[in-house]
Chain A
Amino acid sequence: MGRTIKIDPVSRIEGHAHITLHLDDAGNIDDAKFHLTQFRGFEKFCEGRPFPEMPALTARTCGICPVSHLVASSKACDHLLSVTIPPTAVNLRRVMNLAQLIQSHALSYFHLSSADLLLGMDSDPKSRNLFGLLKVDPQLAKDGIRLRQIGQTVIEMLGGKKIHPGWMVPGGVSGPLSEDSRTAMLAMIPEGLDIAERTFESFKDLIGKFPEEIQHFGNFPTMFLSLITPRGGLEHYDGFFRIKDADGKIVDDMVPLEEYQRIIGEAVEPYSYMKFPYYLPMGYPDGIYRVGPLARLNNCDFCGTKQADQALDEFRALQHDRPVSSSFHFHFARLVEIIFALERMKELLESPHILDTRVRARARGNNDEGIGVAEAPRGTLIHHYKTDDDGLITWANLIIATGHNNLAMNRGIKQAAEHFVDGNHLQEGMLNRVEAVIRCFDPCLSCASHAFGQMPLRIELHDSRGNVVDQMVR
């Protein structure tokens, strides 16, 4: 019987989880598990609700990426209505989705992860946070705050509030964009792009300091799943599924979104309330894949905007002729996507049709089943509903972006623990690195629980008789 190290909670992530590291008798890592510790049950308690409530209700899955749920849910409801929504409504939804990508990626990089990168993985945990960053690198911290604010402000201008706006509805959006709001949004974009570009440049300088982390932070072959446009470009709102393998070979392509059940299965492990999606044709757990910014950039043939495509070239150069395999580079990909989102948002807002007032199609429920899929900041998000003749929900299935990465996160912490953790002599920085792997994935556990918390970190090392041989608290 070996020993167990428990990291509880994993901090500076969006949600509530702990990690257990299982050691053999010699003190080597035998296994590592990532436990999501809360569960809510949306798939059941939505039963009986009128379907038009679903976008606003399921947005409450997550306060970080509520817009993703609004998008996927509204699209599932469009499917129930059996309508094609006005093109301006599509573009307005896209603008809000991109605004969210900006604020959520900014949160992940600046507020949660940059303290590790700038203050150091081994720095004092008391100041290893946004407030510590404000003292050491105030410009970067302020940039992060401002960039997130730009995204949140666009969301507020469209939907009336920053978190849980109710503006996206079945059939489109509830109101058009005003000229004043468009002007104000466009005015913020150059500042956002300046911040995004200088952050990208400073990050490229930083990564030279982390060769070991890049090598051991969830760096292994997996497939990648994401949406792409019909021409193979980077896509966040619609399009088709693409799955690519670790060598860059396309495994499955142009899969219509409504056919997700043909390619995605979900498994359960007894140690987590988060399920484990896998590529169904390959079975579990061989069908492991990753989603999110890393997957989207690995999968797409191009971004489709000027500066982002230049940044994409630099991303490709990280690992010539193959998809980028290190999960550390989720950060890299995230910064490229911020640039893309700002450029694409500008294009959409500059289109003359964006002010059209026809932004909603109206119908009653025509289908009894609806599927909506979109790219959340963390990866592909799927909502699937069934309704009765009165339009009341009878069944729901949600496959959450973070969930897709569950297998890879577990494998990633094991790899990092094997390399960095000395089971016979614990140091705080070793364990922070294990947590930092999780931060690369930017898991949104409030989503994944379709759940959530926080407790003191107490690490105890027990011998096989259960005696405490080493302990630390932070």
Chain B
Amino acid sequence: MSEAHKITLATAWLDGCSGCHMSFLDLDQRLIELAEKVDVVYSPIVDTKELPPVVDVGILEGAVSTEEDLHKARMFRGRCQFLISLGDCAVSGNVPSMRNTFDLDDVLDRAFVENVQAQPGRPSESLPTLLRTVLPIHHVVQVDLFVQGCPPSADTIWQVLTELMAGNTPDPTQFTRFGA
């Protein structure tokens, strides 16, 4: 297969722990096989930082917690033919959304005012604004496939990618569940 016919893949992490990306790296030796079929055009693990105008498959990890996350989710939706919501934070909000039951100011003050010995204050300079409510990705853009798990195992990610490479629509519920 020539380089020109490789499937293009873009990944990004929003508000998560990076565990889903680490699970992707847990593909281990399968990464070598993947690199023959897929071109990772944009991802935290590569240096090409401009998301191309058209990408075959996009993967988003993490929930939407800031204005920047919101912008990224929209950009991915606009440019990716097929968008995957990967992991429980992306699918349900999960741990990042636990702050929703508290007032955002109280959450910030615990970290930046109460538990501090010098220069207390809420940071804001050159930083994205935090949303009052953390949201799963499909609350802000349409998603084509949900893959549950905290994180989804490397085997699950492999199943999803190989099915997509074969031109099929994967059914991750066979391999994973919330909290898996």
Could you say which of A7-15, A299-307, A326-334 contacts chain B? Answer: A7-15
Contact with B along A120-156 (1 / 0, CB 8 A): 0000011011110010000000100110110010000
Given A130-B31, A164-B150: A454 and B72 within 8 A (CB)?
yes
Q: Does chain A have a CB within 8 A of B167?
A: no
Best-surrounded residue of B40, B117, B128 (most CB of chain A within 10 A): B117
Are A39 and B130 in contact (CB-based, < 8 A)? Answer: yes
Could you say which of A250-258, A273-281, A308-316, A353-361 contacts chain B? Answer: A273-281
In whole Å, how far is B119's beta carbon from the nearest beta carbon of chain A? 5
In whole Å, how far is B113's beta carbon from the nearest beta carbon of chain A? 8
Are A451 and B47 in contact (CB-based, < 8 A)? Answer: no
List residues of chain A with CB within 8 A of the CB of B151: 63, 163-164
In whole Å, how far is B79's beta carbon from the nearest beta carbon of chain A? 11
A152 CA to B86 CA in the complex, in Å?
20
Are A45 and B116 in contact (CB-based, < 8 A)? Answer: no
List residues of chain A with CB within 8 A of the CB of B164: none
Are B65 and A38 in contact (CB-based, < 8 A)? Answer: yes
- Of the candidates A273, A278, A284, A458, which one forms a contact with B127 in the assembled complex, judged by CB atoms under 8 Å apart? A273
Q: Does chain B have a CB within 8 A of A107?
A: yes
Best-surrounded residue of A12, A39, A62 (most CB of chain B within 10 A): A39
Are A162 and B123 in contact (CB-based, < 8 A)? Answer: no
Given A164-B151, A268-B123, A269-B123: A275 and B111 within 8 A (CB)?
yes
Within 8 A of B (CB), among A159-173: 161-164
Q: Does chain A have a CB within 8 A of B145?
A: no
List residues of chain A with CB within 8 A of the CB of B141: none
Q: Does chain A have a CB within 8 A of B20?
A: yes
Measured CB to CB, the nearest residue on chain B to A6 is B126
A38 CA to B19 CA in the complex, in Å?
16
List residues of chain B with CB within 8 A of the CB of A62: 17-19
A13 CA to B50 CA in the complex, in Å?
17
Within 8 A of A (CB), among B30-60: 31-32, 35, 40, 42-51
Chain B contact-residue range equals 35 or more
- Of the candidates A39, A131, A265, which one forms a contact with B111 in the assembled complex, judged by CB atoms under 8 Å apart? A39
Are B121 and A452 in contact (CB-based, < 8 A)? Answer: no
Within 8 A of B (CB), among A315-355: none
Are B15 and A40 in contact (CB-based, < 8 A)? Answer: yes
Are B45 and A130 in contact (CB-based, < 8 A)? Answer: yes
Are A268 and B116 in contact (CB-based, < 8 A)? Answer: yes
Contact with A along B137-158 (1 / 0, CB 8 A): 0000000000000110110000
In whole Å, how far is A406's beta carbon from the nearest beta carbon of chain B? 12
A269 CA to B16 CA in the complex, in Å?
23
Q: Does chain B have a CB within 8 A of A450?
A: yes
List residues of chain A with CB within 8 A of the CB of B44: 9, 11-14, 16, 454
A-B pairs with beta carbons under 8 A, tally: 224
List residues of chain A with CB within 8 A of the CB of B47: 11-12, 115, 125-126, 128-129, 432, 474
Q: Does chain B have a CB within 8 A of A249?
A: no
Q: Does chain B have a CB within 8 A of A270?
A: yes
Best-surrounded residue of A11, A128, A446, A453 (most CB of chain B within 10 A): A453
Within 8 A of A (CB), among B57-109: 62, 65-66, 68-69, 71-72, 94-96, 98-99, 101-102, 106-108
Q: Does chain A have a CB within 8 A of B23?
A: yes
Given A269-B123, A474-B47, A474-B50: A454 and B12 within 8 A (CB)?
yes
Are B153 and A270 in contact (CB-based, < 8 A)? Answer: no
A142 CA to B111 CA in the complex, in Å?
41
Q: Does chain A have a CB within 8 A of B22?
A: yes
Q: Does chain A have a CB within 8 A of B2?
A: no
Q: Does chain A have a CB within 8 A of B118?
A: yes
Given A38-B15, A41-B107, A45-B98: A267 and B116 within 8 A (CB)?
yes
Are A269 and B128 in contact (CB-based, < 8 A)? Answer: no
List residues of chain B with CB within 8 A of the CB of A40: 15, 65, 95-96, 99
Are A270 and B19 in contact (CB-based, < 8 A)? Answer: no
Given A149-B28, A284-B119, A453-B12: A63 and B21 within 8 A (CB)?
yes
Known contacts A63-B17, A128-B47, A456-B51; 8 further A-B pairs (Cβ under 8 A): A9-B44, A39-B111, A66-B17, A131-B46, A134-B32, A163-B19, A280-B117, A456-B50
Which residues of B line the A interface, CB within 8 A? 12-23, 25-26, 28-29, 31-32, 35, 40, 42-51, 62, 65-66, 68-69, 71-72, 94-96, 98-99, 101-102, 106-108, 110-112, 115-121, 123-128, 130, 150-151, 153-154
* Contact sample, A vs B, 21 pairs, CB 8 Å cutoff: A15-B18, A43-B115, A63-B18, A63-B23, A64-B18, A64-B19, A145-B28, A149-B26, A149-B28, A161-B153, A162-B22, A162-B153, A163-B22, A268-B119, A270-B124, A272-B127, A273-B123, A453-B14, A454-B44, A454-B72, A456-B49
